[in-house]
Structures are given as C-alpha cells and as structure tokens.
Structure 1
C-alpha cells in the first residue's frame, strides 16, 4: 500500500473515533446537567446547555488560526497530536465535573486545544498525490461524517446502560487511541529548518497573507455559508417532524432518523464526488453540488409527509458530500507551500463561525418566517453561494499555486 494510503486509513479511523467520541455527549447533555444538581423547573437548563455546547465553537473559532500558524512552522503531525491528546484529557475530566460551570470551563478549554480534524486535513493534503487529492480528502471526510452519525446513537445507548459519566471516560479513551495510532503510524515529510527560517508573522499578518491568495476569499465565504445554511435548520428539524407526524408513537426515533439520513448519504457520496473532482475539477464539483443542495433544500419547505422529507434529506446529503471536501481540495491547490496550516486554520474558523451562527439565527428566524421559511432561506443561500463559486472559481479560474483542478 502506498504510504499516503496507509496514512489515509489511519487518519480516517482517527477522524471516525474523534467525531464519534465528541458527539456521544449530544443526546444527554441536558440530562447530565440535571445529574449535576440543576432543577429543570427552577434552573435555566436549556440556557446552560446552549452556552456549554457553543463554548467549544467560540474558542475553536478564535484559536484555530494560532494553531495553523504553528503548524506551518513546526509541522502538522505535532499539531494533530497536541489536539488529540489534549482533548482526551479534557473530555476525561468532564466525567468528574460537579457543577455546570465546571463543564462550561472544560468545553471552552476543549475548543482552545481542538483541531484534530483540520490538522488531519492539512496533513493529508500535503501527503496525497495531486491527482488523488479530491478522493483522499473526500474519503477522509466520510470518516468524520460516519463518526458524527453513529456517535449520538452510541452515546444514547451507552448512557441508558451505564449512566452519563462513563461516556466521558470512554470518549477520552477513544481520543487517546486515535492520537496514539496517528503518533505511531502516520508519517510526515516536513522540513522544519526551512520552515523556521521563514520570517515569523502575526495571526493578523497571516490572515492578510492568506486572503491575498485570489481564490481564498471565495473559498472561506463558501465554507461559512455552507455551514450556516446547513445548520440553520437543525434546531427546528425535530419540531418540523412533529408538525408532519403529529404526537404519535416513535416521534423521537423519526426525528433522529430524519436528522441522520443526510449524514448517511453524505458518507457515501464524499469519496465518489472527491474522485469526480480529481477528473473534472473540484471547483466545478463544488459549484454543481451547491446548486444541487439548494434544489434539495427548498422542496423541504413544501413536503406534507415524512417520507417526502426523508427523500429530500437523502438527496441533500448526496450533494453535501461534494461541498467541504471540494473546498478543502481547492484550499490546498491554491495555497503556496508553507502556508497550508494557516489556510486550513482560517477555513476551520469560517466553518466554526457558521456552526455558531447557523443554528442560533435559524432558530430565532423560525418564529418570524416560520419553520418552512427557514428551509427556503437555507436553499436561497446555497443557490447564491453556488452563483458566487461559479463566478469566482470557475469562470474567472484564478491560477493555482500547485496546478489547477
């Protein structure tokens, strides 16, 4: 097996373990707060659950550029190990929390040290052959998506059987295993002396340097709008399922199934669309996938049956498989050597910003424009994003630092 494929296999497993471990806590976060002594009738548990969940994204948004700059000077593998082992310790400590604010502080710290996924992407982008990069990054994406899908399911089942605290211990163990595998198996060719000889620049100077790359503003904008549009509907999806299905049996199961079906199709499509990007260009795949995602999003506003919503969500997931992997491929192709870590870190910050603002604004707008209106809004944003990508990345065709795709 070529070395890049061995690295891809290990990093795929690492992303799966990290994302499944990190999402295991999602189904029972509010319930864990009750175990910590909060009263659902007198304490604002939903508020605490919200800020505890968001705390991770806030600090991740702020600190990713710092870690990206260090990755360009010291290597991507060391940043991956820093993040993996750091998160393993912090998540383990969450199982010992005694107060809600303990959990909040640990989630904030987790965001500070996070970065396993972007470090994996950055590392893989420097290892994979140029003509296989779309396939490699698409396959890597499927590992994270698989973990995101199965994590909440495993977490809910384990919480039922063993309680809440052991899940944090297990999650910390999974993160430790993923990091150890990467430490032992993954190899990186990195000339540290050459990297250290380059002038040291501040985060702001690095941002201006990255944004001076002609394609980068369009790519970071695409990343933010993709996450914003996709996640704007997540808080209202269970309510929409209830609206369609009524207060009948198996409502929780149906809500979970509808929420995860897009992830399954995304996992299937990511490697396939990545391979297609290697053949026809990741910029074209990104433009087509955004248009397709818009066409799959808007009909969700007009469905009247659960099965119709499931079909729309499945189609949406297929097109989603061509979004973030294509952006990641294009980031590498347009970024000069030595700036990959910074470029991916700013792209991750754009993603984290979309993760923060999408659910918040989408949930707020639902009371104003209605649940169905939020689906229309997301589709319109994706369509506008598609037009922007076609204009900036296909028709203008900015020159790439290392070939074009």
Structure 2
C-alpha cells in the first residue's frame, strides 16, 4: 500500500479525541513542580510586607496611628479583593485559551506590579497597586486550575495537596523574610527583590511548563463529546456546598486575626514580646497545614473526598472550642497547629470534587469560582471575627467559628447525597 493510502487511513487528529488530562499526562508532574515553586515565590512576595507595612505607610506620609492601621489593613486586603473579583474570569479564559497563558500572565503582571510598589509616593498609589496585583495576578489560583485539570483523577487530591503545601509555605516564610530584608536592602529594595523572585517564576513558567492545548482541538473535542452524549450536567447543590465550604475554610483561619494580639496580651504575655508571640501563633496554622496537606490529599484519593471534607470540618470545629479556654500562649499555638493540620485536607478535596462536578470544558471556570470563594473568606473572616469580638467578647469568636464549621459539615453531608 502506498504512502498516500496510508495517509488516508491515518486519523487526522489522533489526540483531539482525548481529554485534556490525557493529552497532558506526560507534563503534569513537571508542571506541578513549577507551579509549587511559583506559588511559593508569589505568596512570599505578597505576604512579606506584613511586618513592615505600617512603617511603609508612615513613610508615605500617613502620621496618625489610627490612620496607619486603617490604611495598612486596606492595602493588605486590596489584593485579596482583586483576586476574588477576577479569578472566575481567568478560569473561564483558561478553559478557552489554555492554562499556561494564564500562569504567564499572572507571573509577569505580579512581577511588574510588585516592583512598581517599591517606587510609589503616596498611600493611595500603594492601595491601587495592591488592588491591581490581585486583579492581574493570582498565580496560585492559576496553578490550581492547571494542576486540578491536568493531574489524573486518581492522583488529583495528592497533587493539589502538594500545591497547597507550597502556597502555605510561602505564606509562612513571607513574613519571616519581610522581617529581615528591610534591614539589609531597605523597604523599597524589598519590593524589588520580591519582583525579581516572581520574575524567576515567570521565566520557569515560560520555558519549563508544557501544555498540550489547541483551541481548535479543544472545540472539536467538546463538539464530539456533545454529539456522542449530553454534556455532564452541573450539580448546582454540590457546587454551592463546595463554594460555601471553601469560603468557610479561610474564614475560620482568618477570623482570629483582628483579635489575636489582644487575646494573647490577656494571657500574660509581656508587651515587649507581644508582637513576636502573636506572629508565631498566627504562623502555627500554616505550619500545621504544611505537615498534612499532601497526606490528606492522598487520603482523599483513597477513601473519597467527601469523607475527608466532612471529617476535617468536624475536627476543625472541635479544635476551635478549646482555644477559648487556654491560659498560656503556647497552648493556643499548639491548638492552632492542630487546627491547621485538620484544615489542610479541605481545599485539595474541595478542588478535586469541583473538577468532577462540571464538564471538562468548564473546569477552569469552576476552579476560578472556587478560588474566588476562598479569597472572599479571607476578606470576610477578619471582619466577622472583629465584629464578634467587639459585640460578644473575644472568647465568642472561637465558639461561633467552631459552630459554623460543624454546621458546614452537616451541609457537606447533605450535599453529598444530592
């Protein structure tokens, strides 16, 4: 048989009929490694300003102590607000144009904006750039979309757990670096260093990350699946339960932030050690999550994501209660480590279920909504915690948050049966 006959018999697009995860089965582990590094560096850069943010706000001309605190809170929260607003959009574009372009866009955008923050001359410019960092950035969110849609279903929980560990490590290490770098290179130089770290992640993303995504093939595959069988219908009850649970994870973790320094001060910690001890206690939940995120993600692969979600919600809610009765700061720190260990199983399991709850062509959009819900919890958590602390007392924050988590476990148990 001649070559022309062979070409007629050969399929025109042999990989077009494969799913996205199958087309990228050779790349997902390497991409995971780059995404972990990129999530770590970007979150280090975003969180390292915590120790010196009030000092920078003062350098920009704000003099009143109350105004410094207010502007510092606004500047810090602006990034999360921006990310919550745009994560679904970037997820939808990832479904249409591929996951790698979203990673490159986020890395380059954040590298530029982080460097520009080092040259601002007013607090308004600082807030505006922090907001823009959230709007155009979101490398960690884009990484979740890529890893969540590329990893094989039987390994998705583990992969998302590893990714979550990198992000948690960034949030843990960032403030530590932020406490050291300004003494060596100055506050403005620290922002340039942060921009350089993200630029390295951008270069790795451009040259190392591989993705088999062709918009034409993707459209043909989607059309073929629709012709063969109706597209999987989204279970909106499950989706809503997952979004609420994702928000509750961050809300529970952040609800103590506004009161933690005052609460620790009431445990007998001396004033000259108060800030340092508060920082240690705040970091304890991230430390606990780093220890168990990958393990609980792998556990979800074995026993089912719903089982891990319900169990972790109940355990986290129970661990919240004793925090209201501690008499020493180290007791609170130990309980926060335990809380982080139980919280860690939630986000990878939620992301895995979110991927499975919608058609493959909408995976990125769904995971984008999930990221948005998480950042909403990160913004709302401190507000709710502060309001409860003022109106009902500091101890009430732990009782209310624990009750909400257990109620959320009931919601998850109900949703899994629908």
Query: Does the alignment reach a TM-score above 0.5?
Result: yes
Distance in 1 of aligned mates of 2:198 and 2:262: 33
User: What's the offset of the Cα at 1:300?
Assistant: 0.2
State the partner residue of 1:202: none
State the partner residue of 1:206: none
Distance in 1 of aligned mates of 2:329 and 2:237: 44
More displaced stretch, 145-154 vs 8-17: 8-17
User: What's the offset of the Cα at 1:31?
Assistant: 0.7
1:339-392, CA deviations, whole angstroms, 9 ceiling, x for partnerless residues? 011101111111121111110121122111111110111111111111111121
Alignment of 1:1-400 (within 5 A): 3-40=27-64, 44-195=67-218, 212-393=235-416, 396=417
1:165-202, CA deviations, whole angstroms, 9 ceiling, x for partnerless residues? 01110111111111211111111222311445799xxx
Contact preservation (8 Å) 1:286, 1:327: yes
1:289-329, CA deviations, whole angstroms, 9 ceiling, x for partnerless residues? 11111111111011112222122111101101101111111
User: What's the offset of the Cα at 1:59?
Assistant: 2.3
Distance in 1 of aligned mates of 2:189 and 2:233: 42
Distance in 2 of aligned mates of 1:368 and 1:214: 34
For 1:188, what is the secondary structure of its paired residue? coil
User: What's the offset of the Cα at 1:245?
Assistant: 2.7
- Specify the structure having the higher radius of gyration (Cα): 2
For 1:339, what is the secondary structure of its paired residue? helix
Contact preservation (8 Å) 2:43, 2:171: yes
Distance in 2 of aligned mates of 1:250 and 1:59: 34
More displaced stretch, 307-316 vs 96-105: 307-316
CA RMSD, Structure 1 to Structure 2 (Å)? 2.0
User: What's the offset of the Cα at 1:249?
Assistant: 4.7
Contact preservation (8 Å) 1:131, 1:278: yes
Contact preservation (8 Å) 1:290, 1:383: yes
For 2:51, what is the secondary structure of its paired residue? helix
Contact preservation (8 Å) 1:72, 1:195: no
User: What's the offset of the Cα at 1:161?
Assistant: 2.5
Distance in 2 of aligned mates of 1:58 and 1:181: 27
Contact preservation (8 Å) 1:230, 1:378: no
1:18-54, CA deviations, whole angstroms, 9 ceiling, x for partnerless residues? 111111111111110111122135x712221122222
1:209-265, CA deviations, whole angstroms, 9 ceiling, x for partnerless residues? 997544211100111122222211111112211111332553222111111111111
User: What's the offset of the Cα at 1:2?
Assistant: 5.8
Contact preservation (8 Å) 1:210, 1:342: no
Distance in 2 of aligned mates of 1:233 and 1:198: 47
When residues 292 and 357 of structure 1 are mapped into structure 2, their CA distance, relative to the original with a 3 A threshold, is same
Contact preservation (8 Å) 2:260, 2:278: yes
User: What's the offset of the Cα at 1:97?
Assistant: 0.3
Contact preservation (8 Å) 1:210, 1:216: no
Unmatched runs of 5 consecutive residues or more in structure 2: 1-24, 223-231
More displaced stretch, 52-61 vs 348-357: 52-61
Contact preservation (8 Å) 1:210, 1:343: no
When residues 210 and 312 of structure 1 are mapped into structure 2, their CA distance, relative to the original with a 3 A threshold, is farther
Contact preservation (8 Å) 2:28, 2:150: yes
Distance in 2 of aligned mates of 1:30 and 1:352: 22
Contact preservation (8 Å) 1:220, 1:347: yes
